[in-house]
Structure 1
């Protein structure tokens, strides 16, 4: 199958996407995640959840291991709201490309599942979503059930996209309510305005800040809330001021957040582009142009490989590949970007796709490969990116006629 993709033919990419989708659906959209190790019944039974350092070490052990130890340690496969949101976005691309009610009906079914998975309404009065696991990191320690900005942003994106093609009120109603949750994350510290990644946490992370600003802009403009729109601009300006002269962004503002990677850079660019469109402004045009120039220059090898970090190629990561395709098509938009996206997909199919299993590997290093099947981090991202590329190919073909 990989040999059929040497020229990035959207039709053949669509065939791979079909195979991937059927594999995901056969698993009922359930899977493991790089960060789900704290769902382990073994670890909990041994008392590990009571020690923060142990939580971080246990999580990192499973994230980095090329051998999947989760079943042995009592971690169940489950659905992740962000992963489901990505599937909805991909299904909408397929529906708009093919006009198939089957794809639309499946997107609606998954979106209704998302509505049923909102964070506890007594604790969180506005619609919001978190991950399906306890998440431990140096900057955050987020219990299962606590919502966060990024998951909520992606769910809102899916709900808004589905509302636009179905006109179903429940989707826009929930999306606007979730926008108010994101508004509640707006904070001012030392004369700096930004959106928190996690309620109650003070760490500033640029992709969470910019995506929150973009989604607040979308929902607040729909609701006619000018104050919230202005707050979104204030928060975005903070991240734009933090952009380097070369167009790059550090991940965040903590001392250990100094790295520059491809998929977070792509997030930032897509979010800024979305914000500008939502508020009909070109205020951040220079930042987007500089960021895209850096992105194209720093994260793509001549052969089409997508670099994980700006200063080195490996590991090759399906998540980075998917966001690269999305950024090139959603933000870059030029013919050269579409051609580069095709080369990226060709390379990914040849080196990251497992045709006998109809899925992608998590990561490939220079001398090793991590083939663990991750739903949210890997397969859902790949499905969305391939759906988008295939649909974009059809749109370009129609426009050329």
Structure 2
């Protein structure tokens, strides 16, 4: 690397570090309250009018979600605190602390983790979390704060990262309790000697198999099981990953659900990236190379079919727009992680970040916008969907590219 390249690299690191610090400060200043993608039923008006059954609930949520402007204030939707967002912001603070060693980031991360512990759901085995709003998905309905495995896993990764960095047994104990929830709560959709698949929510009636749920569970089982030398957890981690790997298509993609026809979503951007990350982290944690070929082939499909040549995140493999901020964040994370297997992947992560800062970043406020279409951009921020994911992404990118600037 010549002198100019080194100078440019250091300047970019400082710029990205400043963007991350601003994101974290903005969130803290707002007391982590913001609007959310699926929070339409927090509107008193929409809840009374459309909250009684599946199709009207979907209409209420999807209408606000798809509107070109943010209609939530008009319908009385309050700004609220999203537990998954708290987990993501905590993880980003921990990553920043790991590089800068500044106590302010450690302290903020621990404050956020304490907030999560205080609000953890214990009505099921272990401890768990859900979304703070009523949520109608295609396959199920979840009342406000009803726990689910996806939110709980992402929070679990933050607690595990805290245990790695800070060594507090309390955080490892939370990971163990989370694994109890994931394993013992309903519902196991597949449970054989070689495969294990969990439902999204702990509800015996739900048999809807969402692909990334078992990948997320398998990753946390691997992290916790390796640390504790727990053979049962590691066996369940392997069975979860086998279930996911065995459903990779012949052209190396994953559908959102199994069977694929259970959802209109085919091969979308961020769920595909999440599955790849879980496989990569599983292999790195357990020291196995069993899924390397499937991972690298899946990564190639992901790069070639879910991103444009300029780094813009495609909505799905067969649909380009809207360019979604979560897809951009996921790409930055996925290719940063992939650089451990293929160093050239880091250039792709940097390209996606560059595109995102040019197209979905408000340089005046330091916040990220929601989506960009061919004609217009949705220039509003959904705190967890936009800023929390980008904070997590930039922190991962900085951790991969080198020491975060202390200034």
Tell me the TM-score normalized by structure 1: 0.92
Matched, 1:346 2:349: no
User: Partner residue of 1:86?
Assistant: 88
**3-state DSSP of counterpart to 2:51:** helix
Give the whole-Å Cα distance in 2 for the aligned partners of 1:91 and 1:115: 17
Check 1:237–1:186 CA distance in 2 against 1; reply closer, same or farther (3 A cut): farther
Give the drift of 1:92: 1.2
Check 1:6–1:317 CA distance in 2 against 1; reply closer, same or farther (3 A cut): farther
> Pick from 222, 242, 247: which aligns with 1:237?
242
User: Partner residue of 1:187?
Assistant: 188
Give the whole-Å Cα distance in 1 for the aligned partners of 2:311 and 2:11: 11
User: Partner residue of 2:149?
Assistant: 149
User: Partner residue of 2:303?
Assistant: 296
User: Partner residue of 2:3?
Assistant: none
**3-state DSSP of counterpart to 1:194:** strand
Matched, 1:15 2:22: no
Give the whole-Å Cα distance in 1 for the aligned partners of 2:369 and 2:322: 12
Give the whole-Å Cα distance in 1 for the aligned partners of 2:394 and 2:8: 12
- For residues 378-397 of structure 1, the aligned pairs below 5 Å read 378-395=386-403
Contact 2:17 2:404 survives alignment (8 Å): no
> Pick from 268, 281, 306: which aligns with 1:261?
268
Contact 1:5 1:12 survives alignment (8 Å): no
Contact 1:11 1:390 survives alignment (8 Å): no
Give the whole-Å Cα distance in 2 for the aligned partners of 1:158 and 1:190: 28
User: Partner residue of 1:109?
Assistant: 111
Count of residues paired in the alignment: 391
Contact 1:132 1:145 survives alignment (8 Å): yes
Give the whole-Å Cα distance in 1 for the aligned partners of 2:11 and 2:289: 32
Tell me the TM-score normalized by structure 2: 0.91
Matched, 1:270 2:272: no
Give the whole-Å Cα distance in 1 for the aligned partners of 2:189 and 2:29: 46
Contact 1:82 1:151 survives alignment (8 Å): yes
Check 1:239–1:313 CA distance in 2 against 1; reply closer, same or farther (3 A cut): same
Structure 1 spans left out of the alignment, 5+ residues = none
CA RMSD, 1 decimal: 2.2
Matched, 1:44 2:47: yes
CA deviation string 1:173-218 (max 9, x = no partner): 1111011111125625486631211112211111111111111222
Structure 2 spans left out of the alignment, 5+ residues = 1-6
Contact 1:37 1:70 survives alignment (8 Å): yes
Contact 2:96 2:404 survives alignment (8 Å): no
CA deviation string 1:240-288 (max 9, x = no partner): 1110122110111241435101111110011111222333222211211
Give the whole-Å Cα distance in 2 for the aligned partners of 1:396 and 1:312: 36
User: Partner residue of 1:29?
Assistant: 32
